[in-house]
Structure 1
């Protein structure tokens, strides 16, 4: 049943308003040339001032660094409506970030098409995020609002030599503004937009000892209604968050500086529901099994276009705080830098996460099915890091040397709980067996293993806890040898030692239907004549859905009793240790042919730590059929919950040139990954495994131009052929071979071959009025991309709707600044053409099998627009 249509008059008015706004904002793309003809010529800003970055942990002009680096000023972030790192793709086409079921756990960052899929806390990101020099251990930790920034740098390719842990694909280096030691300054920004969007940002810097010490306070509050609306009345993908940051900066003399930072943030949002983009052909069988509805009222293209879902509850919150201390001390012959940091991050999630309106199951606490007092879902991540660097020059500045050490300790507790609802067995019978086994076989067949009395699974639950403690040591060096004023060689290396200990423990669980199903198989009550082997596995797999299956399930006395997980692939507790060490290294040759031309080539070897699949099925039995057939004579073989470290080798060749008012940067790259880490959701469980090889080959072009008369423009294009080679399954573990074989020859997930961004800005006077005018327009393009981990289903056939088709998205902003430059008023819009795109497409849990799967799509932001008022003082 579709939701009622809005009144025709209201719909016409809304459509007319959107058309007027879009036309007005899109027209700003062409305004700069008109005002540029009337405005006086700028006298000083030539557009050739150096852009200073710290991508090599040295303050350098970005045009002199033999690396592919995109430096983004805070003004550019504001113009493009970039409020957090999730929207950075509108600035850099090489950058991609997506979220799935939760933002705190299911967020994945990719650069050049390479990155790690999310939704498993055991997986660390291939793209490291560093804020004021402090490593953020998971993308979900770094998703706070970007406010009061000094600069943002996107480093592409392996960065492990200088930036340490888990930067095999790249790094984000974010720096916030330091307190001013000499002047009082501050700002306030207030915004209002569609979906009842409200945002308040502010900051103030106060010298407390002239030219010696100052403090800076900044914060942001953001609130917005959800853009996904469910037929149940629920909404999702809203915003409700705030962040506070305080700094103390002390510079007692020219040689010493101390910077102390503290921040606190809280998120309490509804995230992340998904649209059913394809419904299963088995949906009509709901009535046969006694259900009053199939749970999906809206689906397909119309639901996607209308941003309509079918779910009930999706809550995702987080609370975190952190402190850091930075000491810089110039001894004369060398400079010492010390960064000490501690961060405490806690997330929570409660979801009716079957993505339908049926009462199937609840993940977490506080839902309609949740058992009173059940363990809440979420992660607790506590991280301590310490970095020391010593840097200096020698041989008349022909050698710029740097040595350092890094230590981190991270403790993770990941809580996972689930409770089955009243519709669990009937829904899974309908959408997995249709009418082949009679009415509600998941309920009826349990009688065979329970003395003739069927067992209802409603209320079954499990409370699972995963713990991981990780320690990392590393020593590194990074040196620039200047043979001449034009020719330089950069050599760097880092030794990394990783150790992780992890365990899976179940606090409490009860599932009588699961035990009865296990009894039916192990006692022989489920005969081959009654149920073929595959159907027996299906009955056990569904009644024993891994997230709510007790680890204490018992085997019958005839098999010696004990745990049933010795005979069937059922969750079992485990504890294990992961160790690895690696030497990462880099070498770049740079030739500065003249002040306006740098030619460089480099080779880098990167590393991302392995670890543990924090999933109840991670250590399941792998040879169940052989064990059962052997009658106790075949030893059980259990899966290893560990996955291997990921390694990457990259060759990069580039040119950075300045042609008058235009800066042009070109980079060619070839990245070869081995033991590439992949996460797949099958619809029943999360599988984490290593793929033998993956590769990304391509080119990046960035152009920045200052055309005079206050008009600037930018163009960035990326071509990246990120793919799994045809032989990517060579040497893969047997348990992952089925999945990896289907991957070989496919593109990497969310890795479009061609992406681009183009923008034009006028920022100058409005005629001779004394007022300032800002006009900015930009457009980004993306080729089609696969949005699934694996495009082929288990039957070897393509999964429908696996790819997101190519699209254009447009942003625009127009603003007026008062003559005293204290106030600015801006009208803005993002995704003006309202392109509705999917970031991730996945199997709807427990709804259909190969060839009949229901599919869900996690949707990216639709059109957003509003007004912003800025004040400076």
Structure 2
């Protein structure tokens, strides 16, 4: 990993100078360049400097210059936001604000950071990754949000406001061409037509394709490709001078290959891979090569389809403004996965299906009575999650398990090691088998001489694990700004939430190995000291990993059958704050917010309390899949100031957040484990600076310090608790969150230079610098090899076009210095290697725009 310490010092220095007002004094005299940024974060249109909450607003123009294509790219210019993708775009994307987010690898988890597009809630982060249309702005609200939006969120919200129809005819066309090896190409087009003085329609569409930046060394195929399209139709009807209706119908689809890895460290299990492939199965460790091996016949194909319709009615009733947002959305994803992430065939995912249907209805009434600017609202949501998983066992599973077991059990007494599955025939005298039973080696008891497991057959495993979760949400909320004086405002908000979830599961898995292992446990009960049988003893020893290789919870048939569960929750949350205007240009504020995120169910068979030794299915309960609701107590103080004649804003926020029963879904190398962490903390400070010293130059920057850590010790797996502080399946008090850098710096500069009477040139650059952070929670590489060092990403753009913006030609680059970092890291199932998801390399290209 390359280091960018100099970049970090430069960016910190620049942001600090801006914060102290180190702008050329002459610039401060040019008051004509001041432009207020208006946001709707509080359910009312207001200047961002007058809103007593921590919110970042990024204009559509800034995102276009940065090259943002989907919401993950917004992080480049929003320092408190982190958003990345792990094992898939559709079900492996997580958004985090101030270090807090909920892993999305299990669709049963709702997001701690809510995403709203034109006021409509998106079910999960992966359901909001279609390419962005033309935008007005994106607002990133930090901290709990429950009294402003229909759907409550415990860590923050991302509100996307798209460009709507207007009453001026127009059309536009954009083409993009990549010059790098990925050869990106894309087009966007649209038309706006006013049909009458009160009715206008707009149509937008886009297509984009790109080769992958990871290569399968076996087939030569690309992985991490892009191939997606969108279509969006809108209509605005001014029903009367006081009422407007906006209707949006949109759809999107993708057909891509995602997500590949690069090997980082090889462990002892890689020896078995080499023996099976004759030494040719593992690529060399070369992070810059971005190469891997995939089992022939397996893939990382991923397809998504979505569509939705929404209608927003805004009606000025005279005494108040009424808003109604009605929406229906349907989103589906299907993906395959070579689960073992190597060339041999250990396991594979064969058509995981995830679908969400959402109906939402939000009502808001907002008005002013005397000194009170009040808002009351109601929200209803009906969500259906329908998912079917199929994790199948591959052709090399038995051989791989035997070779790993033999390697782990080779001693002077057993030079050939011991095996789980008999490859040499029965032992006739209990001593002469050239490769004896592993159970005999573990006990020394001749009664185990011919105790072997029955091997799995190709295609066994999850045949169809079908889950349905129906969620109904009802909420009443209010948010009121009370002017105690001309300078002092009290804000009080309250929310009542009712959440009902109904779970059904129909699970079917087959595994000869699991069934025979359970038979061994039952047969040997009483042959070994202590309770249980030999499998119980082994899973509590250094051989626990071998027992998981023999029977992983993800395919254990003991959980087969029909399951039903339900939960009901009623909770109150809210906010209270005070804001004081020292003068027209400086406001200080402070407050408290209570955030709430509903509990739910882990829709994963491995979420049951399953161990390889379990032989009594009555010990399983749907309650083992349940997780408790999450609560956040957030305290915030801030100052918002406008200086230098209105050309510059400097905002500083300090925050302290206690998260109770934090919902953690983490991968431990075998399966995703779910636990509520009793206590966690996120605390820090945020500085944001925006300056427009001249008509031509715009500068923005941010510095964020975040200290996010667990404040409780939780052991995820009781079988490994004896390892103490070295337990890989535990989080410890004081341990930092993954993907939560302590220090983040962003900066952007836009300069537009007129050329003659008709032309103008554009110069743009932005950067995001992070210091080091962890990419793993459970089973982290003990020496920190999977941690990211500090790194900086730079994007740039130069162009020329007409001053009336009718056309432009722009050269752009993303990740200009080809910086490398880990998007994620883990140990592949049943292996002790470490692999990483690499970031996208440097890309360059040309964009041509025309508008009439």
Helix, strand or coil for the counterpart of 2:288?
helix
Whether the aligned pair in 1 keeps the contact of 2:97 and 2:156 (CA below 8 Å) is yes
Greater shift, 217-226 or 522-531, is seen at 522-531
Structure 1 pair 224–612 and aligned structure 2 pair: CA distance change class (3 A): same
Helix, strand or coil for the counterpart of 1:76?
helix
Q: Which residue of 1 aligns with 2:554?
A: 547
1:400 aligns with 2:407: no
Helix, strand or coil for the counterpart of 2:41?
coil
Instruction: Supply the distance in 2 between the matched residues of 1:287 and 1:337 (Cα, whole angstroms).
Output: 64
Give runs of aligned pairs for residues 815-834 of structure 1, distance below 5 A: 815-818=799-802, 821-834=805-818
Instruction: Supply the distance in 1 between the matched residues of 2:247 and 2:678 (Cα, whole angstroms).
Output: 44
Which of these residues, 268, 292, 307, is aligned with residue 309 of structure 1? 292
Greater shift, 750-759 or 521-530, is seen at 521-530
Give runs of aligned pairs for residues 179-578 of structure 1, distance below 5 A: 179-180=165-166, 182-193=167-178, 194=180, 195-210=182-197, 212-232=198-218, 233-286=220-273, 290-293=276-279, 295-299=281-285, 302=286, 304-312=287-295, 313-364=299-350, 376-395=351-370, 398-431=371-404, 434=407, 436=409, 441-444=419-422, 454-462=454-462, 463-506=464-507, 508-524=508-524, 528=528, 533-534=538-539, 540-550=547-557, 565=558, 573-578=562-567
Greater shift, 336-345 or 735-744, is seen at 735-744
Greater shift, 416-425 or 337-346, is seen at 416-425
Greater shift, 660-669 or 511-520, is seen at 511-520
Superposition deviation, residue 788 in structure 1: 0.5
Whether the aligned pair in 2 keeps the contact of 1:681 and 1:842 (CA below 8 Å) is yes
Superposition deviation, residue 520 in structure 1: 2.0
Give runs of aligned pairs for residues 39-50 of structure 1, distance below 5 A: 46-50=32-36
Q: Which residue of 2 aligns with 1:774?
A: 762
Whether the aligned pair in 1 keeps the contact of 2:140 and 2:157 (CA below 8 Å) is yes
Q: Which residue of 2 aligns with 1:32?
A: none
Superposition deviation, residue 149 in structure 1: 1.2
Q: Which residue of 2 aligns with 1:861?
A: 840
1:742 aligns with 2:731: yes
Q: Which residue of 2 aligns with 1:783?
A: 771
Q: Which residue of 1 aligns with 2:607?
A: 618
Per-residue displacement from partner, 1:258-294 (whole Å, max 9, x unpaired)? 1111111001100011111111134234466x55347
Root-mean-square deviation (Å): 3.0
Greater shift, 101-110 or 572-581, is seen at 572-581
Structure 1 pair 442–769 and aligned structure 2 pair: CA distance change class (3 A): farther
Structure 1 pair 214–622 and aligned structure 2 pair: CA distance change class (3 A): same
Whether the aligned pair in 2 keeps the contact of 1:742 and 1:792 (CA below 8 Å) is no
Structure 1 pair 440–411 and aligned structure 2 pair: CA distance change class (3 A): farther
Superposition deviation, residue 621 in structure 1: 4.8
Whether the aligned pair in 1 keeps the contact of 2:517 and 2:613 (CA below 8 Å) is no
TM-score, reference length from structure 2: 0.87
Superposition deviation, residue 764 in structure 1: 3.0
Instruction: Supply the distance in 2 between the matched residues of 1:589 and 1:435 (Cα, whole angstroms).
Output: 63
TM-score, reference length from structure 1: 0.85
Per-residue displacement from partner, 1:772-793 (whole Å, max 9, x unpaired)? 1100112221010100023657
Instruction: Supply the distance in 2 between the matched residues of 1:255 and 1:503 (Cα, whole angstroms).
Output: 47
Per-residue displacement from partner, 1:185-234 (whole Å, max 9, x unpaired)? 22211111121101211221110112x01101112111100011121223
Helix, strand or coil for the counterpart of 1:804?
coil
Instruction: Supply the distance in 1 between the matched residues of 2:323 and 2:438 (Cα, whole angstroms).
Output: 65
Whether the aligned pair in 2 keeps the contact of 1:347 and 1:380 (CA below 8 Å) is yes
Superposition deviation, residue 380 in structure 1: 1.2
Instruction: Supply the distance in 2 between the matched residues of 1:669 and 1:257 (Cα, whole angstroms).
Output: 39
Superposition deviation, residue 250 in structure 1: 0.4
Which of these residues, 36, 46, 59, is aligned with residue 73 of structure 1? 59
Whether the aligned pair in 2 keeps the contact of 1:71 and 1:151 (CA below 8 Å) is yes
Helix, strand or coil for the counterpart of 1:548?
coil
Structure 1 unpaired stretches of 5+:
1-28, 30-40, 365-375, 551-564, 848-852
Per-residue displacement from partner, 1:679-733 (whole Å, max 9, x unpaired)? 12122111111001111111111111112151121111100111112x4449x99
Whether the aligned pair in 2 keeps the contact of 1:168 and 1:647 (CA below 8 Å) is yes
Helix, strand or coil for the counterpart of 1:522?
helix
Give runs of aligned pairs for residues 698-713 of structure 1, distance below 5 A: 698-708=684-694, 710-713=696-699
Instruction: Supply the distance in 1 between the matched residues of 2:812 and 2:689 (Cα, whole angstroms).
Output: 24
Helix, strand or coil for the counterpart of 1:284?
helix
Whether the aligned pair in 2 keeps the contact of 1:572 and 1:619 (CA below 8 Å) is no
Superposition deviation, residue 527 in structure 1: 6.0
Structure 1 pair 144–623 and aligned structure 2 pair: CA distance change class (3 A): closer
Instruction: Supply the distance in 1 between the matched residues of 2:651 and 2:399 (Cα, whole angstroms).
Output: 60
Instruction: Supply the distance in 2 between the matched residues of 1:152 and 1:638 (Cα, whole angstroms).
Output: 40
Instruction: Supply the distance in 2 between the matched residues of 1:733 and 1:456 (Cα, whole angstroms).
Output: 26
Superposition deviation, residue 806 in structure 1: 0.4
Structure 1 pair 403–227 and aligned structure 2 pair: CA distance change class (3 A): same
Instruction: Supply the distance in 1 between the matched residues of 2:472 and 2:774 (Cα, whole angstroms).
Output: 35
Superposition deviation, residue 439 in structure 1: 6.7
Instruction: Supply the distance in 2 between the matched residues of 1:838 and 1:415 (Cα, whole angstroms).
Output: 30
Helix, strand or coil for the counterpart of 1:333?
coil
Q: Which residue of 2 aligns with 1:609?
A: 598
Superposition deviation, residue 619 in structure 1: 2.4
Superposition deviation, residue 812 in structure 1: 1.0
Per-residue displacement from partner, 1:83-110 (whole Å, max 9, x unpaired)? 1111111111111011111111111100
Instruction: Supply the distance in 2 between the matched residues of 1:611 and 1:385 (Cα, whole angstroms).
Output: 19
Superposition deviation, residue 47 in structure 1: 3.4
Instruction: Supply the distance in 2 between the matched residues of 1:799 and 1:412 (Cα, whole angstroms).
Output: 39
Whether the aligned pair in 2 keeps the contact of 1:750 and 1:786 (CA below 8 Å) is yes
Q: Which residue of 1 aligns with 2:140?
A: 154
Instruction: Supply the distance in 1 between the matched residues of 2:119 and 2:827 (Cα, whole angstroms).
Output: 38
Which of these residues, 643, 656, 680, is aligned with residue 694 of structure 1? 680
Instruction: Supply the distance in 1 between the matched residues of 2:367 and 2:37 (Cα, whole angstroms).
Output: 22
Helix, strand or coil for the counterpart of 1:640?
helix
Helix, strand or coil for the counterpart of 1:153?
strand
Whether the aligned pair in 2 keeps the contact of 1:743 and 1:791 (CA below 8 Å) is no
Structure 1 pair 728–525 and aligned structure 2 pair: CA distance change class (3 A): closer
Greater shift, 425-434 or 55-64, is seen at 425-434
Superposition deviation, residue 546 in structure 1: 3.0
Superposition deviation, residue 453 in structure 1: 9.0
Structure 2 unpaired stretches of 5+:
1-13, 15-26, 411-415, 423-436, 440-447, 722-726
Structure 1 pair 460–605 and aligned structure 2 pair: CA distance change class (3 A): same
Whether the aligned pair in 1 keeps the contact of 2:30 and 2:693 (CA below 8 Å) is no
Number of aligned residues:
781
Helix, strand or coil for the counterpart of 1:118?
coil
Whether the aligned pair in 1 keeps the contact of 2:320 and 2:366 (CA below 8 Å) is yes
Which of these residues, 776, 790, 793, is aligned with residue 806 of structure 1? 790
